[in-house]
Amino acid sequence: MKKKITIAASCLNEGGLIRDFVNLVGKKIEEEFKEKYEYEILLADNNSSDDTQQIIRDICEKNKNVKAVFNQVDYGADRSVLNLMKYASGDAIIGVASDMQEDLELIPRFIKKWESGEKYVVGQVISNQENFILSAIKNIYYKIYNKFSSTKIIKNTAGFLIDNKYNEIIKIISDPEPFARIVFSQVLGVPATVPVDKTERKKGKSKHNLFQYYSIAINSIAKSSSTPMKIITFVGFILSLFFFLISIYYFFMKLFYWDDFSLGLAPLIIILCLLSSFLLLSIGLIGEYIVAILAYNKNLPFVEKEKINFK
């Protein structure tokens, strides 16, 4: 009996690409592994507003290897793929982006790495056409994250392969706002890598903007490490001691030299600016921790409005 490969991908308003994506994924597997593996393609649609869902229905009707889950709302790419993994029947599960920015040659590379014995593999981006500023910001994020968190992640990765043995562990993870590569690394450790090129989108628009990248970055740091809170506590103690000594100094200087000593605006402005910036940063970071706690406490269900080709 042949083993099976599961390909999992989420989509949102990808009507111009989804058919090409499915065809190319199927072609990649059949060209190199037809004699060795069966395959299934699992698609999660995040409540698209264009014709994506109708195209997916047409694809599923013609190709029973393609299965689809239509989500009630947009749960985001990572959470949608993690939800798909509970339906995966393959011996290996491969997650790739449906926007086709990643070279889909990644799929046979994943499979060959899996055949060599690796159970967890990610694609390491070796070239991309990303904006220089955005690339620099991402590099800063990875350095900050790996500095603060005990879970280390490889920078600039794309896609993943997980052996079904580990998928049983992934299925029980409940995270309302998961960052897949961090979730996997926390559970499975450091992955093996394969090279992948990343290009510009050929059709459609990217669903990610700078604010979303920021949200993912700050949320992942808040959920993965308590170090920022410890730093805030330490810096707060040092600043409070510093400002206390300054206040004592000015108090006695004014007390002993009442007529000659002028307090001046400069030191007041500097102290207030330093204190205000620290307080704003602290409140913002504490807020991120509170938001993460609230999200877990709500424990809102993942709602699927329709499934196609599942027995």
- List the CATH number of the domain containing 181: 3.90.550.10
Lowest mean pLDDT among 13-22, 86-95, 210-219, 300-309: 210-219
C-beta neighbour count of 178 within 10 angstroms? 23
Q: What is the DSSP letter of 17?
A: T
Average pLDDT over residues 37-51: 94
Range of the domain at 172: 3-130+152-202+301-308
pLDDT digits (tens, 9 = 90+) for 156-180: 888 999 999 898 888 877 777 788 8
**Picking from 86-95, 221-230, 281-290, which range would have the lowest pLDDT averaged per residue?**
221-230
Q: Is residue 256 part of a domain?
A: no
Does the pLDDT at position 269 exceed 70? no
Establish if 167 belongs to a structural domain: yes
Two tokens at 273? 């600016």
Residues of the chain above pLDDT 70, percent: 79
Contacts of 19 (CB under 8 A, 6+ apart): 55, 59
Range 48-73 average pLDDT: 94
122 falls within a domain: yes
Burial code of 181-215, b = ≥16 C-beta within 10 A, e = fewer?
bbbbbbebeebbbbebbbeeeeebeebeeeeeeee
* Mean per-residue pLDDT of the chain: 82
pLDDT in tens, 185-238: 888 888 999 999 888 776 666 666 666 666 666 666 666 666 666 677 777 777
Sign of CA dihedral 24, 25, 28, 30: negative
For residues 176 and 295, is the Cβ–Cβ distance under 8 A? yes
Predicted local confidence at residue 22, as pLDDT: 94
Number of separate domains in the chain: 1
- Sheet with 37-45, edge to edge strand ranges: 192-197, 120-127, 157-163, 92-95, 3-11, 37-45, 66-71, 304-308
For residue 11, tell me if it sits in a domain: yes
- The answer to whether residue 258 scores a pLDDT higher than 80 is no
Tokens 């299934």 identify what position?
Answer: 40
> SS3 of 289, please?
helix
**Is residue 258 included in any domain, yes or no?**
no
pLDDT > 90? residue 34: no
Question: Quick check: 238 and 275 in contact, CB under 8 A?
Answer: no
CB 110 within 8 A of CB 7: no
Specify the residue for token string 């940063």: 281
pLDDT at 43 over 70: yes
Question: Is position 240 within any domain?
Answer: no
DSSP per-residue string spanning 60-108? HHH-TTEEEEEESS---HHHHHHHHGGG--SSEEEE--TT--B-TTHHH
Single out the residue of 55, 92, 48, 61 nearest to residue 207, CA to CA.
48
Q: What is the pLDDT of residue 285?
A: 72
Q: What is the DSSP letter of 198?
A: B
Q: Given a cut of 80, is residue 115 above it in pLDDT?
A: yes
Letter string b/e over residues 61-81, b meaning 16 or more CB atoms within 10 A of that residue's CB? eeeebbbbbbbeebbbbbbbb
The sign of the torsion formed by the CA atoms of 256, 259, 261, 267 equals positive
12 assigned to some structural domain: yes
* Residues 133-152, mean pLDDT to the nearest whole number: 78
Q: Is the pLDDT reported for residue 118 higher than 90?
A: yes
SS3 category, 158: strand
Please report whether residue 36 resides in a domain.
yes
| Cβ neighbours for 278, distance < 8 A, ≥ 6 positions apart | 235, 236, 239
